[in-house]
């Protein structure tokens, strides 16, 4: 049986060649977000970039990756306010200052117009998202998760202490020491018997 011959691909397109011969593809290790800015003209676009990013990095990134020409770049760092809200936005913790944000506004060689916002959000399950948000808000109200909840006293515990103090003053409930309430009378009697033999036993142990 004669098998059909298989054509050998060229050297540059052979995937079985070692990595040193293949064409290397390097992906970026950072994230750049294009911000929707309807107040800017079509000649300008704003990006949210890492803090260690500079103007030359953004210009080279847009030119080499997307082929977008850049005339000029302006950058500024936005400092975040101090807050007690956690990073997930659902609880409160110690006071902290979140990490600052860096924005860059570039002037484009060719204008760019944002597409219109979609009106039908069913593809992104917006109804279920809103329902879960409403449920979480109701649960927060029930659990009373407020920023000053840890500083407020426990009203139920205070009321219980107050009622117990009134009963003790009115002699409605006889006060007993802890060792009697726990039923440790036998231990005190044993200590009282061995008082003469064991000098380490305190005197108050001999009281009935």
Flag whether pLDDT at 163 surpasses 90. Answer: no
From the list 77, 72, 46, the residue with the least C-alpha distance to 59 is 72
Question: What integer pLDDT is reported at residue 2 of this predicted model?
Answer: 45
Q: What is the mean pLDDT of residues 33-46?
A: 91
Alpha helices in the chain (DSSP H): 55-61, 126-143, 155-169, 178-181, 185-193
Lowest-confidence region among 20-24, 40-44, 123-127, 162-166 = 20-24
CA distances from 18 to 7, 9, 11, 22 (A): 20, 15, 11, 7
Question: What integer pLDDT is reported at residue 156 of this predicted model?
Answer: 84
Question: pLDDT-derived band of residue 13, with 50, 70 and 90 as boundaries?
Answer: low
Question: pLDDT-derived band of residue 6, with 50, 70 and 90 as boundaries?
Answer: very low
Lowest-confidence region among 36-40, 112-116, 150-154, 159-163 = 150-154
Maximum CA pair distance of the chain? 112
Per the CB < 8 A criterion, the answer to whether 106 and 45 are in contact is yes
Please name the residue that has the structure tokens 């009281």: 207
73 by Cβ neighbours in 10 Å (0-12 / 13-18 / 19+) ranks as middle
Flag whether pLDDT at 1 surpasses 50. Answer: no
Question: pLDDT-derived band of residue 5, with 50, 70 and 90 as boundaries?
Answer: very low
Question: What integer pLDDT is reported at residue 167 of this predicted model?
Answer: 80
Report the C-alpha gap between 64 and 175 in whole angstroms.
Answer: 84
Average pLDDT, the chain: 78
Question: What integer pLDDT is reported at residue 55 of this predicted model?
Answer: 94
Question: What integer pLDDT is reported at residue 3 of this predicted model?
Answer: 46
Please name the residue that has the structure tokens 């020491």: 177
Flag whether pLDDT at 131 surpasses 50. Answer: yes
Question: What integer pLDDT is reported at residue 16 of this predicted model?
Answer: 66
Q: What is the mean pLDDT of residues 116-144?
A: 84
Alpha-carbon radius of gyration of the chain: 37
Question: Can you give the pTM of this predicted structure?
Answer: 0.50
């Amino acid at each position: 049986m004669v098998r059909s011959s298989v054509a050998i691909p060229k050297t540059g397109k052979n995937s079985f060649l070692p990595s040193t011969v293949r064409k290397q593809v390097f992906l970026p290790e950072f994230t750049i977000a294009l911000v929707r800015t309807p107040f800017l003209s079509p000649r300008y676009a704003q990006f949210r970039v890492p803090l260690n990013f500079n103007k030359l990095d953004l210009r080279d990134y847009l030119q080499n990756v997307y082929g977008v020409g850049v005339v000029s770049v302006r950058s500024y760092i936005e400092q975040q306010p101090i807050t007690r809200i956690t990073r997930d936005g659902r609880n409160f913790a110690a006071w902290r200052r979140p990490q600052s944000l860096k924005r860059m506004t570039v002037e484009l060689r060719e204008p760019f117009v944002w597409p219109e916002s979609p009106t039908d959000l069913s593809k992104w399950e917006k109804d279920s998202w809103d329902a879960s948000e409403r449920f979480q808000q109701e649960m927060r109200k029930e659990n009373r998760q407020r920023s000053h909840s840890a500083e407020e006293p426990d009203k139920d515990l205070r009321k219980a202490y107050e009622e117990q103090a009134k009963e003790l003053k009115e002699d409605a409930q006889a006060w007993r020491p802890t060792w009697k309430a726990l039923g440790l009378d036998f231990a005190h009697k044993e200590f009282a018997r061995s008082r003469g033999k064991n000098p380490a036993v305190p005197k108050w142990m001999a009281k009935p």
